Structure 1
Amino acid sequence: MINLQPYQNPQYFVLLLIALLPLMIGLYHGKRWRGYETIISLVFLFFIFDAQKWPQGVALMGYAVSQIVIVGSYFHYRTNKRYHNRFSIFALAVGLSIVQLVLVKLTPLFAQGRDSIVAFLGISYLTFKTVGMLMEIRDGAIKEFSISKFLHFLLFFPTISSGPIDRYRRFIQDYESVPEQTKYVQLVGKGLHNLFLGFFYKFLLGYVFGTLWLPYLEHLAMLQRHSAPLGISIYLVGVMYCYSMYLFFDFAGYSLFAVGISYLMGIETPINFNKPFLAANLKDFWNRWHMTLSFWFRDYIYMRFVFWAMKHKLLHSRIAMANIGYLLLFLTMGIWHGETWYYIVYGLFHAIGLIVTDAWIRFKKRHATHLPTNKGTKLLAIFLTFNTVCFSFLIFSGFLDQLWFS
């Protein structure tokens, strides 16, 4: 039986491109056939949740219905003239919106590692979409709510499993319009470029680093763990770099597929990666790596916490508030990845790294005339950032847990 999970094999792409061809012809001639697009979306969602995965499909349907009720109810409450800006109602809406994700994340802790019966592929990214909508509704940025548009946004199948995470207003603006013919031709060109580059990343480089080299290096590192202090050997360093490359090429390849297919459908889904390993510091890195996720956490957790802390004068020092915001942000991100120690340490590592980065930036501003700034110092900054990030990915991989505690 053909595996039709998103972007896993060439057959998926062949079927997808055949299915999208009528939609592309329509867009080229200035028409968006929304009914046909809906049918295609449902068909490929069925492919994801067929056979043994049907319980996930049921969980997804239940999730979609509950989110319609939650987001729609909050929108009508917010736009009612008697609205009194009650934070408790907003907090309740957000709490109800994330409760299924919380159950999915916590179930393995209390059910001997088993998955939750309400879990499905992509639940995290769909939850980020709905929570973002609730926050923008509270801000008054979203002026209308349509069940059909909400479902198209929530269940947009090219991005459903792992993002990128789009924003409702940006998505609907694309969905309600048809690009001019010249622009659409450019989108198709960019989309095909992303698809070919994604194949190179995921199926060639991702395969080399993740399937050919990484298991071999992990095996050698495990063999030498007793003969080297704390298990640290040249093979462990190899695991660090190899896993980092695999993580990037596999995930960036997937994101290129999602963005490329979106472009073919006339939707300009935001890109997720922008040469992250050329970042000059950790703050620059998070402006380049998994950008839609990092920007979501920045806008909806970090910035809102800092604004709330300043409004309530939680601390007098803006620097201290920013530092607490980093800790809250990356601790949340770490726990979201999983409840194991290495995900939490990974989050705290980046929080501390950003605190140090901000301190260094402030120091540089005060002593700008005494510190050299040239191509050499920039290359050194990139080198140090790259190795810092790779070490954090070694923590994230969980291999140290196997190396030290197995």
Structure 2
Amino acid sequence: MGTPYATISYFVVLGIFLIPIVIASLLGKKLPVYNAFVTLLFLFFTFSRNEQQGISFIIFIFWQLALVRVYFTYRQKKNQGGVFVSALLISIMPLILVKVLPIFSNHFSILGFLGISYLTFKAAQMIMEIRDGLIKSYDTWDYVQFLLFFPTLTSGPIDRFRRFKKNLNAPIVPKEYLYLLNRGIFLIFQGLLYKFIIAYLINDKVIYYLKMGIEQHIYFGWSLLGYMYAYSMYLFFDFAGYSAFAVGVSYIMGIQTPMNFNKPFASRNIKEFWNRWHMSLSFWFRDYIYMRLVFWLTKKKVFKNKYVISYIGYFVNFLIMGVWHGLHWYYIAYGLYQAILFISFDKFERWNKKRKWYPNNKVTAIIGVILTFHFICFGFLVFSGIFDTIHW
């Protein structure tokens, strides 16, 4: 069946295999062996059309399992950080190779597989939380289930191991599960509306013709402006639809995977936007890159000014986020653009606190939503790579 959630047939087959899990959960029981079978079956469906990806996936999983086991054992014997940086680099090395090596030869693209980015984020957070002492006990089977949880495997949302483990090992309460079941079914239907109807219509009926106008320089300016808004809407409904599928199926399986979107285009400023858009990714970058970098720079007293440290953190955070999407110039430019927006708003916010020039009321809230929406849409225009296809 290929890519998860891409066809109606995938949902039909998935629904059939979820029925025993639903019945058992409503009775307050768990089916660990059956869950493992369903996971392996849908992993097979995901990689069955690309044997090379399947092999890369298996090697990656064993690589991460061995690394985390060795590092956890080491940390139990040694209290110091020691090999932390080395362990972290080894953990993310497969993703780095997948992103960098294709620049030199297309043959290296076979190293990647669907979901390598999100699995790497899961593995890297394990290394960091073991180092911080947040993970005090480690069970390989729990970690395997965390890595291989198929509803979120290919594109997130990115869960946290400690939250997942707590949810996984908690007893099932039928009344609570009934709520999850209802919510999960709702999210799946919401995803169908978002991805298969709204996103499809925007892409097929709007974006296609706007791109044609841009390429042929027909009403070029208006076509580009229309494309900016249409692509932004398409990106939201397509990805939010996929995320709704992943969270909905997770709920049906009894796992409360965190939501990924919360009305992002209602944000009043750029900071609020990143607390609403692709939340699991933005929070992951905030916690594991920005906060750690700021802490390290502060501890080492590299700069005296705390705002300089914070701004460097923003630049590094969003630059890495841009590079993570790809090494094309427009992804890097998108990341730097977001950092500039973040820093500009922070400076304005601090300036306004002293001068009270921009009051906080309903009118300014509406103005903030409108301005933020346009800034965000321009960023998505850059992100789309459309400028790389225009023959100037």
The two structures have a TM-score, normalised by structure 1, of 0.94
Q: Which runs of 5+ in 2 are unaligned?
A: none
> In structure 1, how many angstroms separate the alpha carbons of the residues matched to 2:107 and 2:327?
14
Cα distance in 2, alignment partners of residues 365 and 102 from structure 1? 42
Q: What is the Cα deviation at residue 404 of structure 1? A: 4.6
Distance 2:349 2:102 in 1: 41
* SS of match in other structure, 2:138: coil
- Distance (whole Å) between structure 2 residues aligned to residue 366 and residue 211 of structure 1: 49
Question: CA–CA distance in 1 between the matches of 2:80 and 2:294?
Answer: 23
State the secondary structure of the residue aligned to 2:260.
Answer: coil
- Out of 379, 384, 390, the residue aligned to residue 397 of structure 1 is 384
Give percent identity, aligned residues only.
47
The aligned residue for residue 19 of structure 2 is 21
Matched-pair contact (CA < 8 Å) for 1:326–1:351: yes
Q: How far apart are the structure 1 equivalents of 2:362 and 2:80?
A: 55
SS of the residue 2:111 aligns to:
coil
On the 8 A contact 1:27/1:178 being kept in 2, the answer is no
Match of 2:130 in 1: 137
Number of equivalent positions: 392
Letter in 2 for 1:151: V
Q: Distance in 2 between matches of 1:317 and 1:211?
A: 50
Distance 1:114 1:224 in 2: 36
Letter of the 2:280 partner, please give it.
T
Amino acid at match of 1:34: P
Specify the alignment match of 1:288 in structure 2: 276
Alpha-carbon distance in 2 for matches of 1:328, 1:4: 35
Amino acid at match of 2:358: L
1:110 to 84, 87, 104: 104
Match of 1:75 in 2: 72
**2-structure distance, mates of 1:273, 1:305:** 26
- Aligned partner (choices 344, 362, 374) of residue 387 of structure 1: 374
8 Å contact from structure 2 (residues 2, 48) kept in 1: no
The two structures, once aligned, show a CA RMSD in angstroms of: 1.2
Q: Is 1:253–2:246 an aligned residue pair?
A: no
The partner residue of 1:350 within 338, 363, 366 is: 338
* 1:37 partner amino acid: N
State whether structure 2 residue 277 is matched by structure 1 residue 308. Answer: no
Distance in 2 separating the partners of 1:54 and 1:291: 32
Deviation of the 1:213 alpha carbon: 1.2
Deviations 1:227-248 (A, max 9, x none): x8xxx50000011001101100
Which residue of structure 2 lines up, in the alignment, with residue 85 of structure 1? 81
Name 2:255's counterpart in structure 1.
Answer: 267
Task: Specify every segment of 5 or more residues in structure 1 that has no aligned partner in the other structure, as ranges.
Answer: none
The equivalent of 2:40 in structure 1 is: 42
2:79 partner letter: Y
Q: Deviations over 1:66-100 (max 9, x none)?
A: 101111111111112x33222xx001111111111
8 Å CA contact 1:103–1:116 kept in 2: the answer is: no
- Aligned 8 A contact 1:29 1:181 in 2: yes
1:222 aligns with 2:215: yes
Offset of 1:117 from its aligned partner?
2.3
Among 183, 192, 200, the residue aligned to 2:193: 200
Structure 1 letter corresponding to 2:384: S
- 1:19–1:40 CA contact under 8 A, matched in 2: yes
1:378 counterpart = 2:355: no
More deviation in 232-241 or 113-122? 113-122
Q: Which residue of 2 aligns with 1:209?
A: 202
Q: CA deviation at 1:401?
A: 1.0
- TM-score normalised by the chain length of structure 2: 0.98
Which of the residues 307, 329, 332 maps onto 1:319? 307
Give the structure 2 partner of residue 164 of structure 1. Answer: 157
What's the CA shift for 1:178? 2.8
The reply to whether residue 66 of structure 1 matches residue 63 of structure 2 is yes
Question: Please, which of 309, 328, 334 is the counterpart of residue 340 of structure 1?
Answer: 328
